Chains A and B, each alone.
Chain A
Amino acid sequence: MSVTDQVIAIIAEQALLEPEDVIPDSTLESLGIDSLGLVESIFAIEEAFDITVPFNANNPTASDFDITSVASIITGIERLRAEQSRA
C-alpha cells in the first residue's frame, strides 16, 4: 500500500468513514476528527510508519508537522521517513 493509501486508511478508520470518502484535500475538521481523534491518528501513523511525529497537542499549528489537510499530513510523513531513515 502506498503512503497515501495507508494514511487515508488510518484517517478513514478514525473518522468512521469509508476510504473513498477521504480525499487529499479533506481537512481533519471536515472529517469530524476531534482533538482526541487527532492524537490517536498521529499515534496510528507513528505505529504504521515507524516514525516519531513532532506533534504537541497544546499548540498543533506550531508543531513542525502540518496537519492542515490529508495531503499535508502525507507530505509530512514522507519528509519524516526520509529524515528518520537517514538518522
Chain B
Amino acid sequence: MKRVVITGAGTINALGHSVPETYAALREGVCGIGPLDIRDVDRLQIKIGGQVKGFEAEGRYNRQQMSLYDRFTQFTLAAASEAITQSGLVFTGELAARSGVVLGTAGGGVSTWDDNYRAVYEEGKNRVHPFVVPKLMNNAAASHVSMEWNLKGPSFTVSTACASSNHAMAQAFMMIRSGMAPAMVTGGSESMLCFGGVKAWEGLRVMSRDACRPFSANRNGMVQGEGAGIFVFEEFEHARARGAEILCEVAGFAMSSDASDIVMPSKNGAARAMAGALADARINASEVGYINAHGTGTAANDKTECAAVADVFGPHADRLMISSTKSMHGHLIGGTGAVELLACIMALRDGVIAPTIGYEEPDPECALDVVPNTAREAKVDVAISNAFAFGGMNAVIALRNL
C-alpha cells in the first residue's frame, strides 16, 4: 500500500478567502456567521448564516464562464486554484492521465435551481437559459476543475449530505493508496444560502435563529454556511521525490452506515466510523490529540457524538481535545468536512487547536474538553475529522504528522 500525503490546500468560506485567512480566523475564534444577505430574506424565519462575503463573480469570470458556473463551482475553482498552486504540481503527460478530481457536494447548483424555478413558476417565463443543466449538475464543479487543470484520470462527485466531502476525500485517498492514481484533487463545496436552500432547511426545524453553539447546554440548532475546501492528495514517494512541502499524512479513514434512521444520528454508527478510521490508520486511540467534531449544534448530534467519542476512546476521551469549528464558519453541508480538515491540519502543523466558540453553559451529556471559546496551543500528532450525515452515512478521516 502507498502512503498518502497532502501537498496543497485551498479554501473559501465565511472566515476567509484563503487558507491563511481561515487559519487566522480559526485562531482568533472569529465568528463568520451573521445576517443573511439574500433575496426574500424577509420571508425566511432563519435569517442568519455563514455567508461568503466580498466574493463577486463579476470581474473574476468572463460572461461565458458566468453562464456555466454556479456559485458552488465558483467556490470550488477558487479553492482548487489555491490548493494546486501550493502543491506545485503541473498536470501533463502520464501524471495528468492518471490524476483526477473527486469532490463532495450535497446540493450542487442549488441557486441555479432556485433562480430558474423562480423564472418559470413565479415569473411565468416559458424559457430558461440553455446552460441550466450543465450549471446545476452536481459534478459541474469537478468537471470544471478537471478542465482548468488538465486532470484526465478518474473524476466524479460524491453526495452523502453532510458527509459528502469526507466520503469524497476517502475515495481520493483509496485511489492513491492502492496505486491507481499518483495525485488527486479532492474536497468539496456547497452553496445553499439562497431562499429555497434556506427555506428547505427551515422546514426541518433544526436551525438556530441566533447562533451555532455546539456542545453548550443552551445550544438551539445548526447554522448553514457556504464555501469550499480543496486539497491535493499525493502519493508520498511522488511528493518526496519532487521535494514538495508536505502538510501532513492522510493516515486512514473509515465509513459506516447507521442503517437505522433517516435523520436521527446513531452512537453506534459514529463510534464504528471513528474506531474504524483508527484501525485503518493503525493508530492507537491514545495517540489522538484532537478531534474536529461533526458538532452541528443540534441537541441530537452533539450528545450522540460525545457518547460515541467516550465509547471509542475510553478514559482517553477526557484527555483529548474536541472542537466544532461550525460555530465559526457554519455548517457547509456537503463541503463541511473539507473546510474542517483545515482545523486538523492547523492542529498538526501549527500546534493550534481551533476553539468551539459561542460556548456558554456546560452540558453534562457533552462533558468533554471542547476547547471553549478560545484557541489553545498544544502539540498534536494525530487528528481525526468526523462527518455524520443525514441518512446515517458516516465518514471519518485520520491525519498524522509525518
Which residue numbers of A lie inside 8 Å of B, CB to CB? 13, 36-37, 39-40, 42-43, 46-47, 52
CB contacts (< 8 Å) of B129 on chain A: these are 40, 43
* Chain B residues within CB distance 8 Å of chain A: 63-64, 67, 127, 129-131
Residues of A within 8 A of B67 (CB): 40
A40 touches B130 (CB 8 A): yes
Interface centre among A36, A42, A46 (most CB of B within 10 A): A36
A87 to chain B minimum Cβ distance, whole angstroms, is 14
Q: Which residues of A contact B63 (CB under 8 A)?
A: 13
Chain A interface mostly helix, strand, loop or mixed? Answer: helix
8 new A-B contacts at CB < 8 Å, known A13-B63, A43-B127: A36-B130, A39-B130, A40-B67, A40-B129, A40-B131, A42-B130, A47-B127, A52-B127
Q: Which residues of A contact B130 (CB under 8 A)?
A: 36, 39-40, 42-43
Query: Which chain B residues border A40 with CB–CB below 8 Å?
Result: 67, 129-131
Q: Which 10 A-B pairs have the closest CB atoms?
A: A39-B130, A43-B130, A40-B130, A46-B127, A43-B129, A40-B67, A47-B127, A43-B127, A40-B131, A36-B131
Task: Identify the closest chain A residue to B129 (Cβ).
Answer: A43
Can you list 15 contacts pairing A with B, beta carbon distance less than 8 Å?
A: A13-B63, A36-B130, A36-B131, A37-B64, A39-B130, A40-B67, A40-B129, A40-B130, A42-B130, A43-B127, A43-B129, A43-B130, A46-B127, A47-B127, A52-B127
A46 to B129, CA, bound (A): 10
The distance in angstroms between the C-alpha atoms of A40 and B127, with both chains bound, is: 12
For the complex, give the distance between the alpha carbons of A47 and B64 in Å: 18
